Chains A and B, each alone.
Chain A
Amino acid sequence: MTSERSVGAAPATRDTIELEVLSLLRARLRTPVTVEQDLFADGLITSMFAMELVVQLEEFFAVAIVGPDLKLANFRSVAAMADLVRRLRSGARAAGSDD
């Protein structure tokens, strides 16, 4: 994996959703982050900031993050957020939701 890759060095071959999430985060945080970095462990994301990300991802990617998808684990890393967006865009739902 490319967990050590920095924001600025993300190559064009990366998934575009990950790149877009990276760029959203780069605009909000003062420090660069990597795709696999645990943002909670590093104290970069509070629950308040996670709520901002929910709104931002919903608006930017035209998805609704509700019900079982609204869990902190989905915001733990750029990769996790990109996975969530990718899944919501493909129309799949989280386990346990009959939405």
Chain B
Amino acid sequence: MTDRLAGGSALLDALVGDRAGDWDVAGLLPVEVLRELGRRGLLCAQVPGSYGGAGLDSLANGELTAQAGSRCSSVRSVMTSQGMAAWTIQRLADEDQRREHLGALTGGRLAAVGLSEPDAGSDLGALETRIRPAGGDVVLSGHKTWVTAAYYADLLVVVGRLADGAAAVVVPADAPGVSLERVPYPLGCRAAGHAHVRLDGVRVPWSNVLGGSPQSLSLLVATALGYGRISVAWGCVGILRACLVATGEHAATRRQFGRPLAGHQLVGRHLADLLVAEQVATRACEHASRCWDSRSPDMVVATVLAKYVSATQAVRGAAAAVQVLASAGAEDGHVVARAYRDAKLMEIIEGSNEICQLMLAQHMVTASG
């Protein structure tokens, strides 16, 4: 596992290199980079080896996710989407479906998960996408918004209503009736291929309905978001690590008033806060991943907590980094400028700060931890 992690990190470094700034400005990732990462199983590295995956545990995959996040949050966002799709398939699908779709996802095919809708953001219980049985097929109609990585995806995992429950359906992105409209200028993760997806009478076989029958919407959503949250949390650790490196170098070498910036006490406080932010986020993520790896039921709450802690720390840490680098980092594409914009999005997606707070508060009063 350590070898696989090391190999994955090296490949990420080689494929991304120093190109993330250009990708951010262009708003586009080279799809061959994503396919190469996908073929190596690195976009959903927790898929077991028996399904063609890298078989990393949550802690090792977390470190890989942080590595991606430190290089390029857009690549890391694609990784989160692919991992969410794979985890959803792993948990909800039957064995034949797992073999088919996990094989595709570890073989270079790219996937995105469609959850949010115009009237269903934090309140996913309000989603309106319909899945109607039609003989041996199902027909999907609805509108999904802000689907991360949809622009690159070959497969869309679409969550909608089926009978008196819900289902996740694997929809080929090129199926008749699927149309995409890119989010033109996202605030952050600009090259992650966010798109709005319209499903206009899209017909796919029943065998694409994961699990083959209606399921609980809330459990389905909780399953998909559980993976998404821990992935985003580790991605924020990566953002903080990139800020730490850039800010440390700058503060040690840039001289003002006759001494390095780090020698000025008010700057020193920013450096200390940034280090604390990175460490706090890392510890919260490590704890959550260990809960996953030991199959502890605390994984659910620990994941929400890690996501909330990491996203808020990333926002504060990135702001401190921009403040220390000042004009040297205040240009689109620069690592700390990207961090500043990317981190803010992380306080919104996969459960906003406020939704995380509500879940943690509810946990406090309903369960004895």
- Given A49-B366, A55-B296, A55-B300, do A67 and B94 touch, yes or no (CB 8 Å)? yes
Our pick among B91, B226, B301, B362 for the contact of A66 (Cβ within 8 Å) is: B91
Could you tell me which A residues sit within 8 Å of B by CB distance? 27-30, 44, 46-56, 58-59, 66-68, 70-73, 94-99
Closest-by-CB residue of A relative to B96 is: A98
Question: Considering the chains assembled together, what is the distance between the CA atoms of A59 and B210 in angstroms?
Answer: 23
- Given A29-B367, A66-B92, do A52 and B211 touch, yes or no (CB 8 Å)? no
Interface residue B31 (Cβ < 8 Å from any Cβ of A): no
Q: Is A71 touching B165 in the complex (CB atoms < 8 A)?
A: yes
Q: Is A28 touching B368 in the complex (CB atoms < 8 A)?
A: yes
- Given A29-B368, A72-B216, do A50 and B222 touch, yes or no (CB 8 Å)? yes
Total number of B residues with any Cβ neighbor in A under 8 Å: 36
Q: Is B95 touching A55 in the complex (CB atoms < 8 A)?
A: no
Could you tell me which B residues sit within 8 Å of A by CB distance? 90-96, 165, 210-216, 218-223, 226, 295-301, 304, 359, 362-363, 366-368
Q: Is B219 touching A53 in the complex (CB atoms < 8 A)?
A: no
Q: Is A51 touching B226 in the complex (CB atoms < 8 A)?
A: yes
Question: Considering the chains assembled together, what is the distance between the CA atoms of A68 and B366 in angstroms?
Answer: 27
- Given A58-B295, A67-B94, A70-B211, do A48 and B216 touch, yes or no (CB 8 Å)? no
Least distance between B341 CB and chain A CB atoms (Å): 30
Q: Is A48 touching B359 in the complex (CB atoms < 8 A)?
A: yes
Our pick among B95, B301, B362 for the contact of A99 (Cβ within 8 Å) is: B95
- Given A72-B218, A98-B96, do A29 and B212 touch, yes or no (CB 8 Å)? no
Q: Is B218 touching A44 in the complex (CB atoms < 8 A)?
A: no
Q: Is B366 touching A29 in the complex (CB atoms < 8 A)?
A: yes
Question: Considering the chains assembled together, what is the distance between the CA atoms of A73 and B215 in angstroms?
Answer: 9
A97 / chain B contacts, CB cutoff of 8 Å: 94, 211-212
Question: Considering the chains assembled together, what is the distance between the CA atoms of A27 and B297 in angstroms?
Answer: 12
Least distance between A40 CB and chain B CB atoms (Å): 10
B211 / chain A contacts, CB cutoff of 8 Å: 67-68, 70, 96-97
A27 / chain B contacts, CB cutoff of 8 Å: 368
Given A50-B222, A71-B216, 9 more pairs with CB closer than 8 A: A49-B367, A51-B222, A52-B297, A67-B93, A67-B94, A68-B215, A70-B215, A96-B212, A96-B213
- Given A55-B297, A70-B211, A98-B94, do A28 and B367 touch, yes or no (CB 8 Å)? yes
B359 / chain A contacts, CB cutoff of 8 Å: 48
B222 / chain A contacts, CB cutoff of 8 Å: 47-48, 50-51
Closest 8 CB pairs of A and B: A72-B216, A47-B218, A52-B297, A96-B213, A96-B212, A56-B297, A99-B95, A67-B211
Question: Considering the chains assembled together, what is the distance between the CA atoms of A18 and B210 in angstroms?
Answer: 29
Least distance between A43 CB and chain B CB atoms (Å): 8
Question: Considering the chains assembled together, what is the distance between the CA atoms of A48 and B219 in angstroms?
Answer: 8
A55 / chain B contacts, CB cutoff of 8 Å: 295-297, 299-300
- Given A29-B366, A52-B297, do A70 and B213 touch, yes or no (CB 8 Å)? no
B363 / chain A contacts, CB cutoff of 8 Å: 48-49
Closest-by-CB residue of B relative to A25 is: B367
Closest-by-CB residue of A relative to B292 is: A55
Q: Is A73 touching B92 in the complex (CB atoms < 8 A)?
A: no
B165 / chain A contacts, CB cutoff of 8 Å: 71
Q: Is B297 touching A30 in the complex (CB atoms < 8 A)?
A: no
Q: Is A70 touching B212 in the complex (CB atoms < 8 A)?
A: no
Least distance between B67 CB and chain A CB atoms (Å): 27
Question: Considering the chains assembled together, what is the distance between the CA atoms of A66 and B220 in angstroms?
Answer: 11
Between-chain CB contacts (< 8 Å), 22 pairs: A30-B366, A47-B221, A48-B300, A48-B301, A48-B304, A49-B367, A50-B218, A55-B295, A59-B296, A66-B91, A66-B93, A67-B91, A67-B93, A67-B94, A70-B92, A70-B215, A70-B223, A71-B215, A72-B218, A96-B213, A97-B211, A98-B94
Our pick among A47, A51, A68 for the contact of B213 (Cβ within 8 Å) is: A68
B304 / chain A contacts, CB cutoff of 8 Å: 48
Question: Considering the chains assembled together, what is the distance between the CA atoms of A58 and B226 in angstroms?
Answer: 17
